Amino acid sequence: MDAPEPPDVPPDLVPLLRALGRDLLDSGQSVTDVEEALEAVAQRYGATTVGTLVLPTGVFVRVSTAGGTLTDFAAAAGSGLNLDQIGAIYTLVRRLRTTDVPLAEARSELRAIRARPPRFGAPVTIVGHGHLTVGFGLVLNPTAHLLPVYLVLGMFVGALRWLGSRWPTLGTALPVVAAFLVTVVATDVVQPWLGDEPLSVLVPPLVSFLPGAVLTVAAIELTSNQIVAGASRLVYGVAQLLLLVFGVIAGAAVAGRLDAATAQPTLGWWAPWLGVLVVGVGQMYFASTPRGSLPWVWVVLLGAYAAQLLGALAADPLAGFVGALAVVPLATLVERTRRGPPAVVTTLPAFWLLVPGALSLLGLSDLVRGGPEAAQELANAAVAVFGIALGTLVGSGVTRDASRVTRTLFTS
């Protein structure tokens, strides 16, 4: 039998899919999620034959219509969006998948979201980076006398990031510059003054440069048979780590070796839990989480951290897997509440908290320094990244299956 004729589709559909694919890529989502979203929106508006080719740097769209085949392409802008913009994009995607939104209106809304400024100005954003650093310091190395150091160094790096966003030349070299300056301060000022190991001081201020989410998405794509996208994203994440390590090496060459120091007494068991809450506040100010989303971000962060600890009790390699396994169901439950933000708004901060990038930076820096445990730290980082990816895939699959069973029970 002859194949059915392709249907008529609205003329704005393909341009919308192009812009939507670009914005979803700039949101840091995997190519599998972007393809699924684009195909769902296209089918909602009557397209029956849709082809997409999504790579980390661009998206191709092809739709068969009664008047012929329409194709379009958009390159990813490469500039990351803040969480307020990402949440608005996913809210629009949900509306496009469930209601009849005029396509011209949707394109206009996408442009407005893209042009939306951060919720907070430069001073608050810089202070937010300081809060983020203090929070990760409490999680990674909760030492009381280092908290002011974390705050000062975090605000300093936040100011560098703000300058880099307005000065393209500095923006390109910013990871190296930030790692170099933080290493010099940690080696020449903090170690002689407070007696702490420089590596334990320099990781929290550089946390916003750590490509933990990039490496995790790369592992998700590789385990989902998206080989080209996963491999290219993995190379990009490793390159970002190497830039940071180069800055650390240059700083050590100027300031002296990153010698180990005597372990300092840490705060109580409660310090990392407080750090998780402070990370949520830092994310709100630095990454502009949507208005009213902070309590929900806290819920997912605390759930992910608790699950990570439970996994570590069983076996250290399971910590990232169990933590990521809890993230997707929690974020989905939050999204389905009356005032909950889109799941991606709470999922991305949770990926930051699982910090596979921090482990990788420590391992690479220790390898450069000639530390005896460098190879083991690098192996732990690789296991953490792929464990988080596998936990995310399993958690997503379980959530989809549970949603399907729930719909079947309520509709039967």
The 3 state secondary structure assigned to 132-196 is HHHHHHHHHCCCHHHHHHHHHHHHHHHHHHHHHHHCHHHHHHHHHHHHHHHHHHHHHHHHHHHCC
pLDDT in tens, 351-391: 888 765 556 666 666 665 555 666 666 677 777 777 777 88
In angstroms, how far is CA 95 from the centroid of its own chain? 24
Helix (H, G, I), strand (E, B) or coil at 224: coil
pLDDT in tens, 298-316: 999 999 999 888 888 877 6
- Per-residue model confidence (pLDDT) at position 322: 86
pLDDT in tens, 79-124: 678 899 999 999 999 888 888 888 888 889 999 998 888 888 889 9
Instruction: Give the separation between CA 362 and CA 213, rounded to whole angstroms.
Output: 17
- Per-residue model confidence (pLDDT) at position 303: 92
- Per-residue model confidence (pLDDT) at position 302: 93
- Per-residue model confidence (pLDDT) at position 163: 86
Q: What distances in angstroms separate CA 19 from CA 76, 107, 110, 126, one per listed residue?
A: 9, 8, 8, 31
Instruction: Give the separation between CA 315 and CA 310, rounded to whole angstroms.
Output: 9
Of residues 11 and 257, more confidently modeled: 11
Instruction: Give the separation between CA 228 and CA 249, rounded to whole angstroms.
Output: 31
Contacts of 242 (CB under 8 A, 6+ apart): 364
Of residues 306 and 1, more confidently modeled: 306
Confidence of residue 405 (pLDDT cuts 50, 70, 90): low
102, with CB counted inside 10 A (0-12, 13-18, 19+), is: exposed
Of residues 140 and 403, more confidently modeled: 140
Please determine, for residue 18, whether its predicted confidence score (pLDDT) is greater than 70.
Answer: yes
Asked if 364 and 210 touch (Cβ cutoff 8 Å), the reply is no
Q: What distances in angstroms separate CA 240 from CA 18, 54, 130, 253, 374, one per listed residue?
A: 28, 22, 21, 20, 19
- Per-residue model confidence (pLDDT) at position 13: 85
Q: Output DSSP code: residue 8.
A: P
Please determine, for residue 323, whether its predicted confidence score (pLDDT) is greater than 80.
Answer: yes
Bridge partners, 72 (sequence order): 61
Total number of residues shown for the chain: 412
- Per-residue model confidence (pLDDT) at position 151: 92
pLDDT in tens, 193-231: 666 666 678 888 888 888 877 877 887 888 778 888 888
Give exposure, 335-370, as e/b (b: 16+ Cβ within 10 Å): beeeebbbbbbbbbbbbbbbbbbbbbbbbbbbeebe
pLDDT in tens, 267-298: 788 888 999 999 999 999 998 999 889 999 99
- Per-residue model confidence (pLDDT) at position 360: 60
- Per-residue model confidence (pLDDT) at position 132: 92
Confidence of residue 404 (pLDDT cuts 50, 70, 90): low
Q: Strands 68-75, 58-65: parallel, antiparallel or unpaired by DSSP?
A: antiparallel
- Per-residue model confidence (pLDDT) at position 5: 66
Helix (H, G, I), strand (E, B) or coil at 52: strand
Residue with tokens 């005029």: 102
The dihedral through the CA atoms of 375, 378, 384, 386 has a sign that is negative
Give exposure, 140-171, as e/b (b: 16+ Cβ within 10 Å): bbbbeebbebbbebbbbbbbbbbebeeeeeeb
Instruction: Give the separation between CA 365 and CA 143, rounded to whole angstroms.
Output: 21
- Which phi and psi angles does 99 have, rounded to 5°? -135, 170
Bridge partners, 89 (sequence order): none
Of residues 70 and 275, more confidently modeled: 275
- Per-residue model confidence (pLDDT) at position 257: 65
Q: Output DSSP code: residue 58.
A: E
- Per-residue model confidence (pLDDT) at position 353: 83
The angle formed by the CA atoms of residues 44, 48 and 51, to the nearest 5 degrees, is 100
pLDDT in tens, 55-68: 888 888 888 777 77
- Per-residue model confidence (pLDDT) at position 365: 60
pLDDT in tens, 136-192: 888 887 888 888 889 999 999 999 988 888 877 777 788 888 988 888 888 877 766
Q: What is the CA radius of gyration of the chain?
A: 22
- Per-residue model confidence (pLDDT) at position 282: 92
Asked if 195 and 261 touch (Cβ cutoff 8 Å), the reply is yes
